[in-house]
Amino acid sequence: MSVHSEVKKITTHVLQEMKRSGEKISMLTAYDFSLAGIIDDAGIDVILVGDSASNVMAGHETTLPITLDQMIYHASSVVRAVKRALVVVDLPFGSYQGNSKEALQSAIRIMKESGAHAVKLEGGREVKESIERILTAGVPVMGHLGLTPQSIYKFGTYVVRAREEEEAKRLIEDAHILEAAGCFAIVLEKIPAALAAIVSQEVKIPVIGIGAGNGVDGQVLVLHDMLGINNEFHPRFLRRYLNLYDDIKAATAKYITDVKSRDFPNSKEQY
Ligand code: KIV
């Protein structure tokens, strides 16, 4: 019997138990009540209210513009739908870097105003103090290393990170720093699979990958990407389970035709 099928509510301790027993963790993003309710009902373990909402919900080119208020709006919509999954919320750009007191205030606002269960933030040693301070308030923290989209203007591109030895060594050190600081899990984004597997073996906390291969403890994808709502994004790591862009477009075209031709509504579809 898997941990997943026995548990009524996913907690950070359940994720730890999944890693210990070798059961992979499933995680997806969600930003709204309707889709969060469906993926929770399907049995997803973790729902990330990602700052990727800035891209997929608001149409921004990067994750930088989304605000703390907007993240809280998305998070509270998701929390209202969720019965079982652990809900983790991204601390947005500018709400935690360089000032651990502000990081704590931002995390407290998210927890108090949305009812979420944990926060996530990007970076390694440079955010250690923020992580430790957030934890003093009892708020669980998930780390995020590798390609960290809030630093896109420093990287200059979205290519695979840590291919070179020096960056790979630093990433492994950062993973240990995040674990020692008290993170309950780490997301690794777009790094070589072999490196991600080493990190997963070296730390005791769960490591959840996106574009980080199969040697980690779980996988996360952006929901809109795996459902094929966004038809312009085709990275190698993405598996599409639906092609909703084409399905929604075809359904909309059919609806337009039915309205124009007076086929809709018919006699059974009216009062
Ligand atoms: O914001 C997000 O969707 C994320 C995932 C890509 C891990 O951080």
The pLDDT tens digits of the residues spanning 98-120 come to: 899 999 999 999 999 999 999 99
pLDDT in tens, 8-60: 999 999 999 999 999 999 999 999 999 999 999 999 999 999 999 999 999 99
- What one-letter code names the amino acid at 24? K
Sorted by sequence, the CB contacts under 8 Å of residue 164 that are 6+ apart come out as none
Model pLDDT, residue 98: 84
pLDDT for position 138? 98
Provide the pLDDT for residue 1: 63
Q: In terms of domains, do 209 and 251 share one?
A: no
46 and 79 in a single domain? The answer is yes
Residue matched to tokens 């210990």: 20
**pLDDT < 70 stretches in the chain:** 1
- Residue 7 confidence (pLDDT): 75
Check which CATH number belongs to the domain holding 199 and give it.
Answer: 3.20.20.60
Q: Name the residue with the closest Cα to ligand 1, atom 2.
A: 50
Domain count, the chain: 2
Quick one: 205 and 249 in the same domain?
no
Q: Do 87 and 203 share a domain, yes or no?
A: yes
Which residues participate in catalysis according to the annotation?
Answer: 189
Q: For a ligand 1 pocket test, name from 222, 225, 238 the mutation site with the most ligand atoms within 8 angstroms of its C-beta.
A: 222
How much distance in Å is there from the Cα of 144 to the middle of ligand 1? 9
As a whole number of angstroms, the distance between CA 44 and CA 85 comes to 6
Ligand 1, pocket residues at CB < 6 Å: 29, 48, 50-52, 90, 187, 189, 210, 220, 222
